[in-house]
Amino acid sequence: MGVFGVAGLQLDLDGEDNLARIAQEVAGARRRFPWIDMIVLPELCAYGPKTAHAETPGGRGESTFQQIARDNGIWLLPGSLFLTYGNQIYNVAPVIDASGTIVSRYRKMFPFRPYEDGVASGDAFCIQPIEDAGTFGVSVCYDLWFPETTRSLVWMGAEVLICPTLTSTIDRDVELAMARAAAAGNQCYVVNVNAGGPMGMGKSIVCGPGGEIIHQAGGGYEVFAFELDFDYVSRVRRQGWQGLGQPLKSFRDNAVRFPAYREELTPSWLQELGPVAKRASRKSIQK
């Protein structure tokens, strides 16, 4: 294991066809930082958040991303696209290697319901080992709100969580706290890349395996390059961050089987919350 160079592209994109702009930005980042091995883009950066732009796997969006990876000789995690499988639409994050081959596709497990309407939930985790580096896990945006997703990826071997995001809402600061907590509790890197305006509010973040902030972006356009040190991850997991807690070992050794994961113990109050739905207007509630 060793050091692996990554660049996050917090692009100021709109909700239309951004593929030509993305190709220019990736090529520019590669020229500026020739030592990088991977580029990470925001969620739904190709066409924006409209399911009307959904394509079939291997369509124009993915094919363009494959060519971008091939032309620049880098691993590319191009955020995500809406892809159709049969009569279902999924929010899918492709993982593309430096030869332009799609080596895996991750279907977002937790679409941002009720706002990400008409999008089906994925049910499989995505782990991607990279030779002479380490093991990457992939999540998308709202997945980060569910600590079980990160824990499962780490349990399966992930040392880095790549989590492309698209958010412009008031809860972005909460997500930054979640990213730090996910990194510290799982002793892994967390790379959470958001779009800048007008689609997103930026504030992309890179956290180290102690929950420390390696970089936090501002609100607009920004390209940031950094190194992932897999030997450092191993040392933190063996010795604790700054010689302190060793949570993965403690989780491994603890005999508790948590009731939240036992279906027969689901409490009645949780069922009584009702379905996921958009909040009604105040006037509607008062009628």
Domains of the chain listed by start with CATH number: 3-286 (3.60.110.10)
* Least confidently predicted of 39-53, 113-127, 261-275: 261-275
User: Which pair of tokens denotes residue 158?
Assistant: 């992930």
Q: Which amino acid is at 49?
A: P
Amino acid 229 reads: D
Structure pTM?
Answer: 0.95
E strand segments, the chain: 3-10, 38-40, 75-77, 81-85, 88-96, 102-107, 127-129, 135-138, 160-164, 189-193, 205-207, 213-216, 222-229
Among residues 204, 126, 212, the alpha carbon closest in space to that of 167 is found at 204
Do 111 and 92 meet the contact criterion of CB atoms below 8 Å apart?
no
Q: What is the pLDDT of the chain when averaged over all its residues?
A: 95
CA distances for 87 relative to 59, 108, 208, angstroms: 16, 17, 40
pLDDT at position 287, please? 55
**Predicted confidence band at 167 (pLDDT cuts at 50, 70, 90)?**
very high
Mean pLDDT of 103-125: 97
Question: What is the pLDDT at residue 106?
Answer: 98
Whether pLDDT at 235 is above 60: yes
Helices (H), the chain: 19-32, 60-72, 147-155, 172-186, 230-239, 247-253, 268-271, 282-286
Contacts of 49 (CB under 8 A, 6+ apart): 15, 116, 166, 199
> Is the pLDDT confidence value at 100 over 70?
yes
- pLDDT band, residue 259 (cuts 50/70/90): confident
Mean pLDDT of all residues in 42-55 = 97
**Band of residue 270 on the pLDDT scale cut at 50, 70, 90:** confident
For residue 285, is pLDDT > 60? no
Q: Write the pLDDT tens digit of every residue in 10-28.
A: 999 988 899 999 999 999 9
For residue 283, pLDDT over 80 is answered with no
**Is 286's pLDDT higher than 70?**
no
Going by pLDDT thresholds of 50, 70 and 90, the confidence category of residue 1 is low
User: What was the pLDDT predicted at 265?
Assistant: 77
Please give the average per-residue pLDDT across 144-150, as a whole number: 98
Question: In this predicted model, what pLDDT tens digit does every residue of 178-196 receive, in sequence order?
Answer: 999 999 999 999 999 999 9
Mean per-residue pLDDT, 152-165: 98
